Amino acid sequence: MKRLFCIIALALFTGLPAAAPASAFQTGEASEAPVPAGLEAAVDGFAQDILDEGQAPGLSIGIARAGEPLLIRGYGLANLEHAVPVTADTVFRIGSITKQFTAAAILMLAEDGLLSLDDTLDQYFPDFPRSSEVTLRQLLQHTSGIHNYTSLEGFMGTTAPLDHDADRMVAYIASADPLYDFDPGTGWSYSNSGYMLLDYIVEQVAGQPLAEVLRTRIFDPLGMTRTRMDDLAEIVPGRAQGYDAAPDGAQGFTNTKHLSLSVAAGAGAIRSSPRDLIVWTDALLGGEVVSQDSLELMLAPARLADGSLASAARPAPENGPARPDYGFGIMTGERDGIAFIGHGGSINGFNASLIHYPGQDITIVLLVNTIGPAARGAPVLASAVLDELAAPQDD
């Protein structure tokens, strides 16, 4: 079998965790659908390379076609201190993939007639500077111009570890100087600030926290039992520990820095598993979450006030597709001529990738309990998976 994995050029970590050899932990579940020849070996090989190169303590991978899982498997360790292996059901934080769920909640409330995407921010936060110029649509599409609060100097040291309620968090976002990177609607810049504000707007309109809206309207109805807005105080069976690189340490990793999930919320605080994310993608794209009209809005490329595509104002990501478009919590574009729909996520100690290839009807989930490999490794995994699923099968 052709190996594609040597092109992963990550130099963040050196060596395996001392607790156990990587190959000791490959745990998954049988698929009801036949697994094409070579797919299992391709995915196992990708994961083994991640572990052999010391890029992460553990990872979980899910592959589905037409919404049916072909392979869901865990590799390596979910917890180094207790040598707990990653399984198919291990729960990881998914970072900014959360934004898809926040966007869906906003669209549900719009369908209920409780808000409009053209509402301006002053209807919810009248004291926020220039709020009469910013629409909910712009918050969803990152065209509001509001500065990204996670890039503020000192955020990780002085703000991220502390719990914040809505008033305190909105005040922190508004404290940026300058607050606007550009006039609303005239540019594109990724901003967690917009999705934090959307979280609080959901709560105002629905009369309950976003976490409860998502649980009752999305997670429970779809049977996503491993998915919730994460809570550090909650006892969560199978929750992975997050790690940071420590190349000079005996284990190669340290426990990640503390982050209050109140400062991630609707921008990045959900925990989930590969199976649940496959269920979510199939339901969303199949019209089970929002209406077809709302789904089309969610996937439509963002445009600026002058009608031009917002992607033209975006910097091309390193080693990625040139200027993908952004909808509502979802990126769309092409990689190597193949159309994709998806999003990545990074949060302290975790990295995640959720990508769907509509032409092939294939979904690929990669969850990792450290920052780094998912962002760089996901395209390599996708290439291997798509090659194997497109290859002629032996009778």
pLDDT given at position 27? 66
Residue 352 φ/ψ region, left for φ over 0, alpha for ψ in the -120 to 50 degree band, beta for the rest: beta
Residues 6+ apart with CB under 8 A from 172: 149, 152, 159, 164
Rounded Cα–Cα distance for residues 369 and 268 (Å): 15
Q: What predicted TM-score, i.e. pTM, was given to this entire model? A: 0.91
Strand partners, 365: 62, 354
What is the three-class DSSP state of 334? strand
238 contacts 91 by C-beta, under 8 angstroms: yes
pLDDT given at position 33? 62
Q: Return the structure tokens found at 370.
A: 């450290």
pLDDT given at position 319? 58
pLDDT given at position 171? 97
pLDDT given at position 391? 66
Rounded Cα–Cα distance for residues 62 and 363 (Å): 8
Return the half-sphere exposure (C-beta side, CA atoms, 13 A cut-off) of residue 310. 28
What is the three-class DSSP state of 233? coil
pLDDT given at position 15? 27
pLDDT given at position 249? 77
Residues 6+ apart with CB under 8 A from 212: none
119 contacts 135 by C-beta, under 8 angstroms: yes
How buried is residue 234: exposed, middle or buried, by Cβ count under 10 Å (0-12/13-18/19+)? exposed
> What does the pLDDT profile of the chain (395 residues) look like in tens digits?
333 322 222 222 222 233 333 443 566 654 556 787 799 999 999 999 999 988 999 999 999 999 999 999 999 999 999 999 999 999 999 999 999 999 999 999 999 999 999 999 999 999 999 999 999 999 999 999 999 999 999 999 999 999 999 999 999 999 999 999 999 999 999 999 999 999 999 999 999 999 999 999 999 999 999 999 999 999 999 999 999 988 887 788 999 999 999 999 999 999 999 999 999 999 999 999 999 999 999 999 999 999 999 998 876 666 555 679 999 999 999 988 999 999 999 999 999 999 999 999 999 999 999 987 666 788 899 999 999 987 655 54
What is the three-class DSSP state of 346? strand
Domains with residue ranges and CATH for the chain: 5-96+224-390 (3.40.710.10), 99-210 (3.40.710.10)
Rounded Cα–Cα distance for residues 140 and 121 (Å): 12
pLDDT given at position 392? 58
